[in-house]
Copies of this chain bind each other. A is one copy, B any other.
Amino acid sequence: MKAGQYPLRLATLADGSRDGQLVLVRPDLQGCVPAGAIARSLQDALDDWEQAAPRLDALRARHDEEGWRRAEPFLPGHCMAPLPRAYQWADASVYRNHARLIYQWRKEPIPPRYEEIPLVYQGGSDVMLSATEDIVAADAAQDIDLEAEIAVVTTDVPMGVDAARALDHIALVVLLNDVSLRGLIPGEVARGFGFYQGKPATSFAPVAVTPAALGEAWRGAMADLRVRVRINGAPFGDLRSGEEAVFHFGQIIAHLAATRALGAGTIVGAGTISNADPAAGSACITEARVRQMLDGVPEAQLHPYLDDGDRVNIEAVDARGRSVFGAIDQRVRIAANRN
């Protein structure tokens, strides 16, 4: 079975539990129906995906036939992240232009063999934020940045899988904000163990969709969508996520599974979306600042990093302009001491 073969849209309603309640979402994202009789949570569904996916699809087909007239309103503000906690979140950096710009910011060469071997890091997966939770940081001086990304969620992946067979293990596609504290990253990277403090909790758009639900937008083992980023309501980026990537999701998963198996519910990201065309704007503030610097904009006039009260909106739309995952819509909150 191909894990992504049924056209499903799934979300997790907050119900006071840690893992929330699984719901099936109507194609227009305006309604939803409970799916708890099939699986209590999305992780439970992924743990037994071969059984759960066809049953979820039968439920979908029944509601499609009925016109979803028994659906409840789907309220993104009542959602948790599709996986409010996950057993793995591994993120790659596959957009050539992102590497080009970021390493100019770092004043370092692009990492060796960037186009030959996927560049990946292990992110924190124990606390995932919903689409509308605040981005909480201790200090704006940490240079709070957004990063709009597409990721996939896998079923169990055997060690040693190749890139072609890895595709059969892609169950879902998600949209996320890989928040980064740019001020902390160079110091962490210099120590050789990669990021930790520089990567606070990640936020997710409310709806996870199967590759089949993406239809023609699932192409070349990537989601070919337009991802729109706004900061405080102003357009910041309008990027194509299916282009200019040096690796696709099958190749990233094969890299991750080279020395160990991956558990069901592993989230695999492709990194900050980036297009070479400056007219597309950016999916992170650092890229925009580097472009400004290359254009000779003085330091003091560069686009600021995020600060208390700032609002970040990220949404992906398909070729007909329909929202695919619902929107990420977060505010930044500076909390010097939350303890």
CB within 8 Å of B: which residues of A?
Answer: 18, 47, 85-88, 90, 93, 108, 111-113, 119-127, 136-138, 142, 158-162, 165, 181, 184, 189-201, 255-256, 258-266, 335, 337-339
Given contacts A126-B266, A193-B120, A201-B260, whether A339 and B159 have CB atoms under 8 Å apart is: yes
Question: Cβ of A194: which chain B residues have Cβ within 8 Å of it?
Answer: 121-122, 192-195
Interface majority SS (helix, strand, loop, mixed), chain A: loop
Residue contact A263 to B193, C-beta cutoff 8 Å: no
Question: Which has the most chain B C-beta neighbours within 10 Å: A88, A93, A184, A258?
Answer: A88
Question: Cβ of A18: which chain B residues have Cβ within 8 Å of it?
Answer: 47, 264
How far does the alpha carbon of A264 sit from the alpha carbon of B265 in the complex, in Å? 18
Q: How far is the CB of A53 from chain B (nearest CB, A)?
A: 17
Residue contact A196 to B121, C-beta cutoff 8 Å: yes
- Nearest B-chain residue to A161, judged by Cβ: B339
Instruction: From B192, B262, B338, give the contact of A126 (CB < 8 A).
Output: B262
Residue contact A88 to B125, C-beta cutoff 8 Å: yes
Question: Which has the most chain B C-beta neighbours within 10 Å: A121, A161, A165, A192?
Answer: A192
How far does the alpha carbon of A112 sit from the alpha carbon of B187 in the complex, in Å? 9
How far does the alpha carbon of A86 sit from the alpha carbon of B262 in the complex, in Å? 13
Given contacts A47-B18, A165-B339, A195-B193, whether A121 and B122 have CB atoms under 8 Å apart is: yes
How far does the alpha carbon of A159 sit from the alpha carbon of B335 in the complex, in Å? 10
Question: Which has the most chain B C-beta neighbours within 10 Å: A123, A136, A255?
Answer: A136
Question: Cβ of A86: which chain B residues have Cβ within 8 Å of it?
Answer: 87
